[in-house]
């Protein structure tokens, strides 16, 4: 049975740290073969062309073969076969709610489940990290953070930008205290949780101080645990 992997970034990667390739290089290195095919999903933004161009610029400098999936001009009618030939699927940030609605319309929710089972590395930043969990904290609706149901490939919840946006931490704690959100994970900008065969295997970071956290409700209080996070630099 192939190893199943998800790499969920709270922030960072080529779109936030164009001069710091540590997280993106880490994602590429987890693929099942050298010079892997990496397919970018820019579906959470209305500026997909620019986002995809920046992806190509960044990943062309890595040991990878970049491509991207447009849902306006798909490369083929058989998206399942196309995506199962990829080694890594890398999902960009933006509006998680809109992205998931688009995926469900195209059947990508089911295809991504199959890709995960067959060993394609699933990775992404912000919305592209939220999507893999049962639920997430999202700013998809302007002016507030809310809880959103996601794909459920991984159990529990996720919150990105934990140190990068002032309202993320207090709002997440409130979601847990009020029972709106399942136990789960949060990640700072520049940090990523690496999950192997459905289990958290460790955190990695492109910034020395960035961390991954586990959160749960215990005896009526929120327990926030700093999880082991390895800085990828020197």
Active-site residue set: 126, 161
Q: What are phi and psi of 102, to 5 degrees?
A: -65, -45
Three-state helix/strand/coil letters over 52-85: HHHHHHHHCCCCCEEEECCCCCCCCCCHHHHHHC
Distance CA 66, CA 55 (A): 8
- Position of tokens 């959160």? 215
By DSSP bridging, strand 37-41 and strand 88-91 are: parallel
The DSSP secondary-structure symbol of 208 reads: T
Contact 125, 13 (CB under 8 A): yes
The DSSP secondary-structure symbol of 165 reads: S
Nearest by Cα to 63 from 28, 33, 13: 28
Helix locations, 44-165, DSSP H:
48-59, 79-84, 96-106, 108-117, 127-130
**Displacement of CA 226 from its chain's centroid (Å):** 19
């Amino acid at each position: 049975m192939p190893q199943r992997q998800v790499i969920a970034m709270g922030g960072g990667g080529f779109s936030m740290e164009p001069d710091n390739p540590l997280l993106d290089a880490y994602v590429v290195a987890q693929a099942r073969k050298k010079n892997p095919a990496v397919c970018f999903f820019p579906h959470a933004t209305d500026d997909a062309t620019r986002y995809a161009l920046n992806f190509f610029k960044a990943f062309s400098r890595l040991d990878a073969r970049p491509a991207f999936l447009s849902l306006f001009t798909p490369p083929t009618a058989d998206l399942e076969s196309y995506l199962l030939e990829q080694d890594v699927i890398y999902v960009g940030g933006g509006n998680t709610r809109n992205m998931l609605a688009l995926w469900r319309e195209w059947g990508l929710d089911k295809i991504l489940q199959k890709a995960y089972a067959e060993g394609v590395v699933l990775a992404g930043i912000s919305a592209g990290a939220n999507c893999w969990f049962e639920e997430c904290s999202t700013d998809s609706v302007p002016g507030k953070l809310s809880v959103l149901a996601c794909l459920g490939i991984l159990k529990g919840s996720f919150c990105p930008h934990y140190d990068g946006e002032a309202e993320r931490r207090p709002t997440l704690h409130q979601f847990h205290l009020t029972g709106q959100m399942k136990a789960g994970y949060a990640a700072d900008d520049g940090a990523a949780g690496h999950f192997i065969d459905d289990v958290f295997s460790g955190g990695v970071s492109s910034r020395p101080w960035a961390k991954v956290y586990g959160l749960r409700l215990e005896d009526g209080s929120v327990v926030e645990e700093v999880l082991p996070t390895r800085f990828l630099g020197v």
